[in-house]
A and B are shown apart, each in its own frame.
Chain A
Amino acid sequence: MFSSEIARLRKLGVQGLLFQLLNLLSVVTSGLMMWKALCLITNSESPIVVVLSGSMEPAFYRGDILFLTNPHHVPYEVGDITVYKVPGGDVPIVHRVIESHITNTTQLLLTKGDNNPGDDLVLYGGMQWLEPKHIIGRVRGFLPYVGYVTIALNDFPQLKYALLGGVGVFLLLQKEGS
């Protein structure tokens, strides 16, 4: 079954194999560069996020993709949907701002999920207010369903390894110029 592939690998030789490895690396690094460039442009540490919970239904469902921006020194407004992460919390939360109090030094924010009965005070881990330093960005764009791929990959880790392995093997074995 793999005899032809092995034969091809033999034909490539060490130099060819290294060249293929270089190809693989350039694919990975260019992806990383594009992501980091997007981070720089949007000033957000994670400009694209996937919705993981149903707390913003019917606006966002699990698996929807959100595009964020976080311009420097632009205050958040009430009604903005923000993505925030509190110290000690492991997942970013997508919720709407319902209170904003701008003082000389900072901005105090309170958020709530559209589908939740109460506000988010219990999620803040002892803090009374959310501050701009906790916020990753505000939601500007929306693309439905596509993010479900990552949820599936997270829920079934085998799928993730199979996919990564498959892509790696494919790139290594790919014939140049084909």
Chain B
Amino acid sequence: MHSTFQRLNNITSLATTYLMVLLSLISIASYLALPPVNMGRIDVKDLIIQHGRLRRYAAKNEELASIRFDLTTDLTTLLTSYNTKQLFLYLTASYETDPSLDVPQVNHEVVLWDRIITRADTRDFRAVGNKMVGKTKGKKGRGKIRVEEGKNVYTWRDPSGSFKNIPSANLTLHYSLMPYVGLISSGIAATAQGPIALPEPLFFLPHKDMSDSEVENESLRDKKKKAGDLTIFHVKVTTSFDKVFKGFADKYGIRDGVYRFLYYSHRLGEKQTPSDFGMRPGHRYGISAEVLQEGG
């Protein structure tokens, strides 16, 4: 005796079973047939370490690293594979404590930059800085990745608050492939040429005439500055001034050419070195930054 209910029950359970078998076959097949990736490359343009605070409650003053990098890779084969919904690209820095030091060993891995590329994207990904370019008029394609002058989007810091026990870091671009159905897979899409040495930190200390709060609370980006305004800061000079300027610009979010830097009313040029002004490496000097344009 077969009632309508039983017939319906049989049909749905049969359909569900077949659908599940089909979906599992698809996920296994697409996982096994994952195309290989041509290794791309990462070029580190600049890496500076400076003191600062995270923008959160009760943040401590700690060493923060900022990086600029160029990145090229081609993930077309992965993106056009039939079971690919999206690729999550992430640039990581992995580093560990100097093994020769008598301090607890810690293995670190942090994400510095990430980007989601979906199957619906019909243009190659191209970005300068953290802005995308050619979103509408770029070359038609899928999966070619090119980033110029990319910056870390996540703050790079160490739980200890300092990078002093860390000699170098390895940079790697990973991908994580999200399928429409099935297993999540991941791999490496680009690497840097070798480990990157971590530099000595730059110091931007408030001048003793300015109170701490004035410097910490009124970052230059929040307050409109008048032309001629001076910000005085102390800097521990290492090799050349361009890193100092870059660090200052990154910290306060200012554009090139809006500021000039002075040491006792002498203009400091990017090409000049501290020894041109009789400064000795490792010592601290008061330098002032003068606003040239309104609203900089």
Contact = CB atoms under 8 A, between A and B. Distances in A.
A119 B114 CA distance: 13
Interface of A: 58-59, 77-79, 81, 96, 98-104, 108, 114, 119, 121, 129, 139-144, 178
Given A104-B104, A104-B105, 17 more contacts: A58-B86, A58-B116, A59-B178, A78-B110, A78-B111, A79-B92, A79-B111, A79-B174, A79-B176, A81-B176, A98-B114, A101-B108, A101-B159, A121-B56, A140-B183, A141-B184, A144-B180
A141 B159 contact: no
A58 B114 CA distance: 14
B160 to A, nearest CB: 9
Contacts of A78: 90, 92, 109-111, 174
B109 A100 contact: yes
B217 interface: no
Given A59-B178, A104-B104, A108-B159, A79 B90 contact: yes
A142 B109 CA distance: 26
B110 A98 contact: yes
A166 to B, nearest CB: 11
Contacts of A99: 108-111
Interface string B1-15: 100001000000000
Contacts of A114: 88, 116
Contacts of A108: 159
For the complex of A and B, the 8 pairs showing the least CB-CB separation, nearest first, are A98-B111, A102-B107, A78-B109, A99-B110, A59-B178, A100-B109, A103-B106, A101-B108
A81 B1 CA distance: 50
Given A79-B88, A101-B159, A178-B1, A139 B23 contact: no
B129 interface: no
Interface of B: 1, 6, 23, 27, 56, 85-86, 88, 90, 92, 104-111, 114, 116, 118, 154, 159, 174, 176, 178-184, 186
A87 B114 CA distance: 29
Contact of B184 (A81, A104, A119, A129): A81
Contacts of B184: 81, 139-142
B115 to A, nearest CB: 10
A74 B117 CA distance: 29
B110 A142 contact: no
B183 A143 contact: no
A58 B86 CA distance: 8
Contacts of A100: 107-110
A147 to B, nearest CB: 13
Contact of B23 (A121, A129, A143): A143
A58 B179 CA distance: 11
Contacts of B186: 79
20 contacts: A58-B116, A59-B86, A78-B92, A78-B109, A79-B88, A79-B92, A81-B184, A98-B110, A98-B111, A100-B108, A101-B107, A101-B108, A102-B106, A102-B107, A103-B105, A103-B106, A114-B88, A114-B116, A142-B179, A143-B23
Contacts of B110: 78, 98-100
Nearest to B186: A79
Contact of A59 (B88, B107, B182): B88
B88 A143 contact: no
B226 to A, nearest CB: 32
B106 A101 contact: yes
Contacts of B174: 78-79
- Residue in B27, B178, B180, B182 whose Cβ sees the most chain A Cβ within 10 Å: B178
A108 B160 CA distance: 12
B4 to A, nearest CB: 14
Nearest to B9: A170
